[in-house]
Chain A
């Protein structure tokens, strides 16, 4: 066992993590928040979600689903970003690849933690998915393929540590393919629902994949910068060039997402399409307008794009600001997508009396704590990884 681990955990070389004081405090806080999140989740499981979560009959999916989507999109994106280097051979992307693979595992595990508390009977899932497998269900495909994806990414990471690059590339490709299919199915969970006009259409899977690429670029810049700053390391020139390349790819993806969002806005309001119009107006001029304009558009798209293009991807501090804004904005994108799509009630537009024009949802304390716990857990794994794997340094191969 020790020999096995010795092959995977580098004993020398790479970068040494920061001294114990700062590290222990950070780990302590993150561990505490994770425990609080798990406790809130377990409490909700025990007393029933009706009493602790803000979800309702009309709005069954809340901030926990949004957080799950956020983590899973980021994970797929990190897999895509690492694959650009490893699988497709763009040498410039190699320095960030190891950390990206590790973080894709960390984020998907955090996502699974959040969803485990969202679905009411998560322990039935492994059994139910096998004996009651339903190939027309996008949730089934997503759940099954993400399990396979996690497996492939973990093997890829181990192989990278052992410097077995051919096998690592093979598993990286397998992880990339299952990740893309699983992630498109996550988009299809929303896009194939005829009854939800805001989501329905072929674009959800496409949007999710593009969004994943954007999230992955933003996330790797964010985490790399934090890792180097927290531990007091200095970025090598290769790393800086690599982040420059990632930032430019991220900016390209942002341009695509800006284009996509603009047309989604226009098609949502032109001709007042029933069901879609009310939801879009809620985002543009209604109670979700601050979420949309400040969160999604300004923080998530405009600021990162403008900053990256202004510095041409070269200034690391500016890139961090861009990635920080991007991460927050992307969370708003997930939240708005999941929630607003459900706020138009089933029998809208039928002239009903005493029937809400729009439903409402607000996250409860328990839900917020579980989300916080998930984020803290992801941070915990991230910091542990920086220490154990000595800064994820790789020689060029």
Chain B
């Protein structure tokens, strides 16, 4: 290009920028800065406790429900007579294809060919941070504020089965007769609300394996069992963070 052509070209430096463009650019910069500033200020304000389960935030050693129903299971005494299962089926009209509680068999190898069998009753753990409650889109299930029981409202259930997928314990099943998901409710509808003080399974057990009670009451048997020294107390699948409320002990 020749020097004359250069002089004809439009200047590309900032001196030709109209002030309206400069103002627009500055406004954009101020807007972006303002957003960042506002966001930073907002992020400094403290956040309310975020509820995952839409209820009481669980703390170690605290039993916030009144009564805080729980069941302590003394595994070593179970003989797999299945009277608890029969009682549950009869009391709560559980269909043959499903179960609210069942008994699993554990086997531990000892020296040589010997092995030790332990029967492990399982049921809904009425978790303190229930994954099923978190995922239900229509709030058809929730943890009752009074008793800590994770209850079902069958009329609201849309049958998406996300709660069944979310439960780490396979505690839920779809009940055709009600067209809704069903699970153990600690016999709330069938017994507790009618004045009884225990569940059907705890009542039926001949070996005193299932101990039902209010763990918020220091005088209750369940409280004493869970808090006795030199007793191993465990829960199933603690790594899922569901904070289950059914305790297994080895006494």
A351 interface residue per 8 A CB criterion: yes
CB contact list, B12-47 vs A, under 8 A:
none
**Interface contact A195-B167, CB-CB below 8 Å:** yes
Do A50 and B176 touch (CB < 8 A)?
Answer: yes
The residue on A at minimum CB distance from B236 is A347
From B158-166, B207-215, B216-224, the one touching the partner chain is: B158-166
Kindly identify which residue among A57, A132, A346 contacts B139, using a CB–CB cutoff of 8 Å: A132
Bound complex: CA A120 to CA B162 (Å): 12
The range of chain A's interface size is: 35 or more
Cβ proximity bits A116-159 to B, threshold 8 Å, 1 near / 0 not: 00011110110011011110111110010000000000000000
Cα–Cα, bound, A49→B170 (Å): 19
Q: Which residues of A contact B206 (CB under 8 A)?
A: none
Q: How far is the CA of A132 from the CA of B155 in the complex (A)?
A: 12
Among A57, A121, A128, contact of B164 (Cβ-Cβ < 8 Å): A57
The interface residues of chain B lying within 8 Å CB-to-CB of A121 are: 157-159, 179-180
B135: contacting residue among A61, A128, A139, CB under 8 A: A139
The reply to whether B106 and A351 contact each other, CB–CB distance below 8 Å, is: yes
Q: Please, which residue of chain B has its CB at the minimum distance from the CB of A120? A: B159
Which chain B residues border A140 with CB–CB below 8 Å? 137-138
Contact status of A351 and B108, CB under 8 A, knowing A124-B138, A134-B138, A136-B52: yes
Stretch at the interface among B63-71, B85-93, B143-151, B237-245: B237-245
B107 within 8 A of A: yes
Once the chains bind, are B137 and A194 in contact (CB under 8 Å)?
Answer: no
Chain A, residue nearest B237 (CB): A195
Residue numbers in B under 8 Å from A120 (CB-CB) = 157-159, 161, 174, 179-180
In the docked arrangement, what's the CA distance between A345 and B165, Å? 11
Q: What is the size category of the interface that chain B forms with chain A?
A: 35 or more
Give the Cβ gap from A125 to chain B, nearest Cβ, in Å: 5
A4 beta carbon closer than 8 Å to chain B: no
B residues near A122, Cβ cutoff 8 Å:
158-159
**Is A354 on the interface with B (CB-CB < 8 A)?**
yes
| Contact between A346 and B157, CB atoms less than 8 A apart | no
Complex Cα distance, B98 from A346, in Å, reads: 16
Question: Closest residue of chain B to A58, judged by CB?
Answer: B170
Report A175 CB to chain B, min CB distance, Å.
Answer: 22
Give B126 Cβ to nearest chain A Cβ, in Å: 16
A347 and B239 CA atoms in complex are apart in Å by 12
Complex Cα distance, B106 from A347, in Å, reads 11
Given A50-B97, A120-B158, A351-B106, the answer on whether A195 and B168 have CB atoms closer than 8 Å is yes
Give chain B residues whose Cβ lies under 8 Å from the Cβ of A353. Answer: 105-107, 117
Q: How far is the CA of A193 from the CA of B170 in the complex (A)?
A: 13
- Interface set of A (CB-CB < 8 Å, partner B): 48-50, 55, 57-58, 60-61, 119-122, 124-125, 128-129, 131-134, 136-140, 143, 189, 193-196, 342, 345-347, 350-355
Nearest 5 pairs of A and B residues by beta carbon: A120-B159, A195-B168, A128-B138, A132-B139, A140-B137
Given contacts A120-B174, A120-B179, A346-B237, 4 further A-B contacts (CB under 8 A): A50-B97, A132-B140, A137-B134, A347-B236
Q: Chain B interface (Cβ within 8 Å of chain A)?
A: 51-54, 97-98, 104-108, 117, 122, 131, 134-140, 156-162, 164-170, 173-174, 176, 179-180, 236-237, 239-242
